[in-house]
Structure 1
Amino acid sequence: MTDPFISTFEDAGHEGPLAGLRLAVKDLFDLAGVPTGAGNPRWRETHGTPGEDAVAVALLRAAGARVVGKTITDELAWSLNGTNAHYGTPENPAAPGRVPGGSSSGSASAVALGLADIGLGTDTGGSIRVPASYCGLFGLRPTHGRVSLEGAVPLAPSFDTAGVLTRDAATLRLAMGVLLEGVAEAGPITRLLAPQDIWAEIPEATRAVVMAKAESLGLPIDREPFFPEGADPSGGAPGRLDATPLETARVAYATLQAWEAWQTHGGWIEANAPEFGPGVAARFANAAKLVSADIEAAQRIRSGVTALVRERLPEGTALAIPAAPGPAFTIGDQPNREAIVRLTCIAGLSGAPGLAVPAGTVDGLPVGLQLVAAQGGDERLLELA
């Protein structure tokens, strides 16, 4: 296992609500005078040193947080594993010998190890929620656009969000209060939706532990399906009618994320021939082959999922599902990436906030509960935590 930090700092800090709290910064965010590596040495070599902090870093520093280091990220943030072919796999103290989850792997590891109190990360397809689940942490993927990503390396801009990981809910709420912009949705969470069509896919051991956590919140729980019975989730796309609605949503998410990732980084990749680890390399290679028809079909599905979130999650309701299908997998094993993304893609496709909270353990290994609210419901989720 690897130390989570790429570089460490002596930061004096400031007065403010976060005074005395240590901040670990994912190596996608600019720190003035420090190269941003985005998890890949070639990226670091071909980009200049930033002259100022990313907005999220500046806000946390101004509120009193003290930067203690920049942390390992999966390459260009395109993984959920927490492994990096160049810098290694940060330690997961809650599950020794297992991955911490990515791509905010180093930030999650630093917080779980007690080396930082706040881990600044990003979540495009689950990169805060999955590490939180694997490491027994709290983490929030905010409503898309509510936290500035200025000064952070993008992956898929219409999905990218910035949030934090912490060991306790109070620190999470305090740090996110510094970062969140805009007006909050009114009214507390008073009802949970734990859809039977999503929970049916979860392994029994994880299902029992995470459902018990949802029930412990003391709110009424409805189990009606998330996807309407008999609905065509394909958006008219050929070849998808045999898939479940949740799998169809996952495919749409993966397609759009890949398309945006190639639009964002394809030119740099072709010009600089970076060396990627095998998983990231394969995803970029596949992304380069997408055509406009793929994107049009996926956009129709995205619109449908967004409409469903508005319908199923009115004010006061939160979706309650696992943050990941099970505990962290052993280093060297291959995870079921599709099963993970089926649980994270609803928030991603709809731009909704997703909160991960520790739910308990399966065979001594952490698993997490994911709570998703409609757009703007970030503060309501934080209150529930």
Structure 2
Amino acid sequence: MNCIRSITDKQLVLILGLAGFISAADNWIVSPILPAIAAGFAVSIAQVGIILTAYLIPYGIMQPVYGYISDRWGKAKILKWIVFGLAFGTIGCAIAPSLWVLCLWRLITGFFAAGVIAVSLAMIGDTVALSDRQKYVGKFMGIVFLGQGLSVGLGGIFANFISWRIAFISFAVLTICILPFMQKLPKDVSTPTNYSFFNEVKQVTLTPKGKVIFPLALATGFLLLGLYSYLGAFFHEVTGLNYVQVGLIVMCYGFACLLAGHQIGNLGQKFGHQKTILLGGFLALSTALILASLPYWPAGLLATVSLGFGYIFIQSTLATIAFDVATEHKGLPSALIGLGLFGGGGLGTAFGSFLLSWGNYQTLWLCLASGIALFIVATSKLHFD
């Protein structure tokens, strides 16, 4: 699918980045306020962790669907609808009277938000020149995860001084405010296909590159997003920080992502796909080992920054490779990367909840460190070209 353009690459990435910023902020606002939500509903951290999974699983599962239909019905059109749905679901989260109702609204929110990043990445793949794609993918993802990091800081402030419900209301309002900017997105010119959804998924996943990058995306989500999900609770429960302090530290993850996003283009061209992913893996491994061995906030701050760099190095590289999986349709391959990342993140979060109910944070970090080490070994034996 090609796009009829009236804006520059920088303007396109900025508009898409705004939508992705809000999507990621709405997604990860829950991480630093888990203790506040648990206290509000009189349940444990392990129990309230279900709201992370309730969001991430539909967020992952729906991404291929949005990728498929955006290639046929128009990416700009789909983005407008899902951004509106994101606002609707977030308002529901703010007024949920119980944990299980909140889970339902998080599921609905995840259902709509699923397409924001995947469809935006596909639009970048359609419009940006091949030589600039990794650069602009990195910039886009940097903006997205800056939203994730800032939301953590704001969430801590809301939880400490006002209410965790105000955080959801604020993001719902911001989501509505970006809708006018979506009108400036380039219009799509579709390229029809004879393949059904499942046949096209099969074709894409069984390509040589698909066999490599989609399992890696699943592993990345399980390990790295599973690790990130409990950072806020770890800093509050283990290091004794209040919600504001937790938010300020985890906010550094977003700034690390933004900085990494600006560097990934040059890094990818210099070292290639495999070495860039391996570097991200080593940074993530260092995060897990630091958290397990040095349960103090200064070390945790360093680990948080390392995780931000590691995640962007891996995610942006996988997303860039996905553009070459199917020449005509970039929505589905981009979405399948999202399915792996966020579906894997949902599973990793559920696994983390189990480990916390059975053991402690050190158990969680060491298990994830073992998984990341295996990820590094497996990646070193793969071929990406």
TM-score, normalized by length of structure 2?
Answer: 0.28
**Structure (1/2) with the larger strand percentage:** 1
**Structure (1/2) with the larger helix percentage:** 2
Q: Which has the higher contact order (CA 8 A, sep 6+)?
A: 2
